[in-house]
Structure 1
């Protein structure tokens, strides 16, 4: 939900969110490949007479991605529309936006009330909770029931509950891995060169001896101010779970049966992490201007071959090393440093929402049913055209065409049910079964299914978020001395209404616990 072609903190998170999910067939648990025949015009089994009764419409879909060759995007889009038009008498217009520009573009569009149909949304990108709060997303409960029965039945009820705000669903789940640990990501060549013993690494500080030996022509770590920070993107590493937006004041501890809400930025864990980042910054492991780096600059560094030693806060799932190799062409190792936990925000880490300005919400939901149930359509979007962008090497296994890289999104997790995706390596066969088993057996957060309604304290959330945005880059890139800046940060958070946010979260949790 990508394996950020840079082993930097935030580039890594971005790329890893591309690997955050698994693809492929789910071994029979998912019925998404079977259309809903009882709903004419809505699923992969829509018959011709039902389709002919629908007026033709064009749907627009915005999502973030690495730049693709737009001629190839158009080629894929045209092939997709042969299926979509035959099934629901609609066409889809794909509008991929660069990762670094996506959030800003969507904020502008939703703020201006622009007309469009579909958009990627999550707690960490094109913020789901903020979109709900400002009325940018339509409630989907009735639409799912009427037009997407396969999609609705595929995703467990507990995961649908995780999407609810004011008891309503506003995001269609892209079903994939929902239980994963967080940890390290290290290039194999650096493991070999610096003799890194990953088995002995139990926390990020254990990498310090290897950082001290770093003698490349560029520093080993990086930071990007427009990506998720390395603290709030991995609450389970710190034994915590977020409530609402990951960055919003007010978390709980996973081992606390009382689910007491507290200010995560006032904890020893945050202070110690900020001190570690500052220590590494002072040692020269970050660029001196790290707090000013953008994702665009980070991507340019990556393209120039400036690959960092390791990445922090990487979400880790079955098959992630194979996906890293397929995406980046380099061997990497991953070391989980936290347990696999199913949390609300992990469950809703990748969704597609229908814009409140959509003129065809019913048809948009029909399309979501198709992209989640029609394996051919889904894999067209994920992998391109067979014989042009990939070739089949076995049943359900493909190989990308190496001399044609005009279309290779590597974001199967973003587009629909990832358990319908082809495997990209024979070695990956079986990963989906492992992923499904992990989803079934992982421990769950005590707040799984609880979703926070920010409406009663919208002003305080906006104010505290603004304070966080003001201080996060300096503190978490290591640039600032936390002994000097952290007290100032906490004081401003308190003045902005942190206590009110925490109290309201606690109130809603207690109410939720009573009604379970």
Structure 2
């Protein structure tokens, strides 16, 4: 523990020294930029592109970064296969090879990595000096969400409108044939998939069970008022109910929703809604999403944003007469929480050799119009053009870019594209606005130090059981869930709940 405090003190001393020159700081900064060219490495999740589009864009981007801050940017990719483990391992190396790190409190263990010392603390003055536009754009309230013990560790993606809540995309034309006025419940969805199986001669859902992001919380959110608490586990096991936000609750450990879900998934498996080899299959270069857009499957499961930006128009173009809808998890109960502003965020590696220049580069990527458009869309006139309505569209046959920049997008600089159905976007926004609540626990930084071993053990149990539950692979789902819960108890889930409850109690006590 003493080493951790000493290390933090050293980092803070280093950072404060960068701004301690007062009036001379600007001259020092300008001199450093003029005399020291640096390479800033940005880490993101996703597979490294195989074509030349991204490198061509970076060459152009680096011309501007060199001109403005005498720096250039390289990208380090963490492939999707086993990304969570590999991401955390790379961050833990702290060997100085990384500068900017894309992160998230709800799916990329941001707070865990803060507690492990993998991210650099950022004093307010450092941000004001080296990322002034970002500092001005983010509100005090939002900066406070990014603090631990008063110190900022994250720069939030809080100026970008998106809906990353999950649900099922389905064919509205097929639903009508099935006698449904759309799919608005899990019962509707079951009836729809049964109709597709019997009448359309396609696989209802050609899911790749080995890497699918299909989890039980979608059913649980629909059948209850469960709210996920971010920053505890990437498997979303803990939270509260909307009806009692002062009590920690795990629907995977108690309640009846998981049992009913397991029974339903067993039914789906028996009806053949997915391939028999669901737990080992892989679709190669053909994803279920590709197949859905070609009319070859009945559903696709992913974000709302994926539906209106990638799928809706593509299906209509590829399959004449086809149309799609979106059954969002929580629709039955009106249970939807607008994501935390740290669903995407940027951090600075604790071992960065150039933290001040990394902040400058981030500030440009986030706020400079030319840098932003290059990094998000590519080279205009080469990799994308604009139609007569000003909408962005790719150039056919030209490689696009893959920067996976989900950590600081900016509505003020976004260029709407032809691939998104903006009428659908506006419509679903209006629907969600009727029901949504803001994420209620954004200012809680869960301290997991006393329960880290139990969290790891519970995660292992989750991994052993959940795939079989989600895809109905056990003939007795009720007993299987009971066994799962018993193993969770042995792994220490009750200790986790007790510790989290103490912290939630403290939060409410301090915020009366």
Query: Are residue 76 (structure 1) and residue 57 (structure 2) matched?
Result: yes
Aligned-pair CA distance for 1:350: 1.4
Aligned counterparts of 1:156 and 1:385: Cα–Cα separation in 2: 31
Aligned-pair CA distance for 1:93: 0.6
SS at match of 2:443: coil
Aligned counterparts of 1:61 and 1:198: Cα–Cα separation in 2: 47
After superposition, residues 462-501 of structure 1 pair within 5 angstroms as: 462-480=456-474, 481-501=476-496
In the other structure, the counterpart of 1:155 is 138
Query: Are residue 144 (structure 1) and residue 121 (structure 2) matched?
Result: no
Structure 1 residues 228 and 135 mapped into 2: Cα distance closer, same or farther (>3 Å)? Answer: farther
CA contact (8 A) 1:250 1:505 kept: no
Aligned counterparts of 2:349 and 2:247: Cα–Cα separation in 1: 35
Structure 1 residues 471 and 427 mapped into 2: Cα distance closer, same or farther (>3 Å)? Answer: closer
In the other structure, the counterpart of 2:280 is 292
Aligned-pair CA distance for 1:485: 1.3
Structure 1 residues 231 and 147 mapped into 2: Cα distance closer, same or farther (>3 Å)? Answer: farther
Gaps of 5+ in 2: 1-21
Which of 311, 336, 342 is residue 324 of structure 1 equivalent to? 311
Aligned-pair CA distance for 1:147: 2.0
SS at match of 1:94: strand
In the other structure, the counterpart of 2:382 is 388
Aligned counterparts of 2:212 and 2:174: Cα–Cα separation in 1: 30
Aligned-pair CA distance for 1:311: 3.4
Aligned counterparts of 1:300 and 1:69: Cα–Cα separation in 2: 17
Aligned counterparts of 1:90 and 1:439: Cα–Cα separation in 2: 42
Aligned counterparts of 1:153 and 1:441: Cα–Cα separation in 2: 31
In the other structure, the counterpart of 2:326 is 334
In the other structure, the counterpart of 1:273 is 261
Deviations 1:281-338 (CA, angstroms, capped at 9, x unpaired): 12111222323346xx4654448847531234x4335x95244346776564323343
CA contact (8 A) 1:393 1:399 kept: yes
In the other structure, the counterpart of 1:424 is 417
In the other structure, the counterpart of 1:228 is 213
After superposition, residues 11-160 of structure 1 pair within 5 angstroms as: 52-53=33-34, 55-65=36-46, 68-100=49-81, 102-114=83-95, 115-123=97-105, 125-142=107-124, 143-160=126-143
Aligned-pair CA distance for 1:222: 1.7
Structure 1 residues 255 and 154 mapped into 2: Cα distance closer, same or farther (>3 Å)? Answer: farther
Greater relative contact order, per chain length (Cα 8 Å cut-off, separation 6+): 1
Aligned counterparts of 1:210 and 1:437: Cα–Cα separation in 2: 22
Structure 1 residues 160 and 287 mapped into 2: Cα distance closer, same or farther (>3 Å)? Answer: farther
Aligned counterparts of 1:351 and 1:170: Cα–Cα separation in 2: 10
In the other structure, the counterpart of 1:183 is 167
CA contact (8 A) 1:177 1:435 kept: no
Aligned counterparts of 1:321 and 1:437: Cα–Cα separation in 2: 14
Aligned-pair CA distance for 1:107: 3.1
Q: Which has the larger radius of gyration?
A: 2
Deviations 1:105-154 (CA, angstroms, capped at 9, x unpaired): 32332243342112222245443233234322222344434322322332
CA contact (8 A) 2:217 2:236 kept: no
Which of 194, 199, 203 is residue 218 of structure 1 equivalent to? 203
Aligned-pair CA distance for 1:181: 5.5
SS at match of 1:132: helix
SS at match of 1:275: helix
Aligned-pair CA distance for 1:443: 2.1
Structure 1 residues 285 and 432 mapped into 2: Cα distance closer, same or farther (>3 Å)? Answer: closer
In the other structure, the counterpart of 1:315 is 303
Gaps of 5+ in 1: 1-37
Equivalent residue pairs, number:
467
Aligned counterparts of 2:89 and 2:416: Cα–Cα separation in 1: 37
Aligned counterparts of 1:327 and 1:151: Cα–Cα separation in 2: 35
- TM-score w.r.t. the length of structure 1 is 0.78
Aligned-pair CA distance for 1:260: 0.7
SS at match of 2:64: helix
Structure 1 residues 484 and 136 mapped into 2: Cα distance closer, same or farther (>3 Å)? Answer: same
In the other structure, the counterpart of 1:208 is 190
CA contact (8 A) 1:136 1:355 kept: yes
Structure 1 residues 252 and 471 mapped into 2: Cα distance closer, same or farther (>3 Å)? Answer: same
In the other structure, the counterpart of 1:10 is none
Structure 1 residues 202 and 358 mapped into 2: Cα distance closer, same or farther (>3 Å)? Answer: same
SS at match of 2:450: helix
Mean Cα deviation higher: 195-204 or 209-218: 195-204
Aligned-pair CA distance for 1:456: 2.3
In the other structure, the counterpart of 2:361 is 367
Aligned-pair CA distance for 1:441: 9.5
In the other structure, the counterpart of 1:30 is none
Query: Are residue 407 (structure 1) and residue 400 (structure 2) matched?
Result: yes
Structure 1 residues 359 and 304 mapped into 2: Cα distance closer, same or farther (>3 Å)? Answer: same
Deviations 1:58-102 (CA, angstroms, capped at 9, x unpaired): 011121335534421111001111121122111001234443354
Structure 1 residues 226 and 111 mapped into 2: Cα distance closer, same or farther (>3 Å)? Answer: farther
Q: CA RMSD in A?
A: 3.8
